[in-house]
Amino acid sequence: MSGSLVVVGTGPGKPELMTPATLAALATATDLVGYGPYLDRIPKTRADQCRHVSDNRVELDRARLALSLAASGRKVVVVSGGDPGVFAMAAAVFEAVEAGDAAWRTLDIRVEPGVTAMLAAAAEVGAPLGGDFCAISLSDNLKAWATIERRLRAAAEADFVIALYNPASKARPHQLAQAFDLLRTIKGLDTPLLFVRAAGTPEVRVVTTTLGAADPSCADMRTLVIIGASTTRQIGRWIYTPRSEREGRS
């Protein structure tokens, strides 16, 4: 029996945002590997499917477990939230392959795309990502805070719309305030800023404000922050960024 490993994302939360390709991979898996809350989003349709639940912080251990199971002939699906390639398990799997058993390089490994939080959050409010945009994770678990500041500054100077993943956690309550302070030295204080919590789920909560007035305590681990470009504007209850820079205000 030849094993396989598919890395999937559950989307932002509601079942309709899980892709049919992801559902098909889940239906044929013998083993599911992932963080508990993500596995809870998947209906238990097969009694013979093993679930390997792990803590959120041990991504490399989880990736190694999944690779060993696939190498032993199991059909393994590794489950992330959102899209598995965006600040999630797909890269962890390849890091484990790179550092691990040479035989893992010949395994049947596939990644299925999913709906990432940034897209679900943008759709809640209109089209804030209508022009050029970038995504930055504010977590400094895997990179230096100085790197994050350098990227924030470059993104602001280039006038990208900026989507901030991992804006705050209990361990990091102050960094979002530091990020806002840095951006305020470069971007206009009237730049639209959105806190979108639990995007793409029935519990969604949106706070629309400006960079000048934004209160960092509006963000938690389930929030995505979107900071507009100079052309981003509010039309009625919608926020959008025009596709053309000629539509700008200045």
Contact 34, 78 (CB under 8 A): yes
Neighbours of 39 (CB within 10 A): 17
Smallest distance from ligand SAH to CB 81, Å: 5
Gap between the Cα atoms of 55 and 70, Å rounded: 20
Smallest distance from ligand SAH to CB 167, Å: 6
Gap between the Cα atoms of 156 and 223, Å rounded: 20
Q: Per the structure block, which two tokens stand in for 189?
A: 């204080």
Site stretch for ligand SAH (CB under 6 A), options 52-60, 80-88, 146-154, 177-185: 80-88
Smallest distance from ligand SAH to CB 244, Å: 28
117 binds ligand SAH per the rule CB under 6 A:
yes
87 binds ligand SAH per the rule CB under 6 A:
yes
For residue 8, what are the β-bridge partners?
79
Smallest distance from ligand SAH to CB 80, Å: 5
Q: Give me the sign of the Cα torsion angle 29, 40, 68, 141.
A: positive
**197 vs 233, which CB is nearer to ligand SAH?**
197
Gap between the Cα atoms of 181 and 191, Å rounded: 13
Give the SS3 label for residue 136.
strand
Site stretch for ligand SAH (CB under 6 A), options 5-13, 97-105, 205-213, 234-242: 5-13
10 binds ligand SAH per the rule CB under 6 A:
no
- Residue of this chain nearest to ligand SAH (CB atom): 82
80 binds ligand SAH per the rule CB under 6 A:
yes
Contact 128, 226 (CB under 8 A): yes
Per CB under 6 A, the list member of 93, 155, 194, 196 interacting with ligand SAH is 196
Gap between the Cα atoms of 153 and 46, Å rounded: 49
142 binds ligand SAH per the rule CB under 6 A:
no
Binding site for ligand SAH (CB under 6 A): 9, 12-13, 80-83, 86-88, 116-117, 120-121, 165-167, 196-201, 221-224
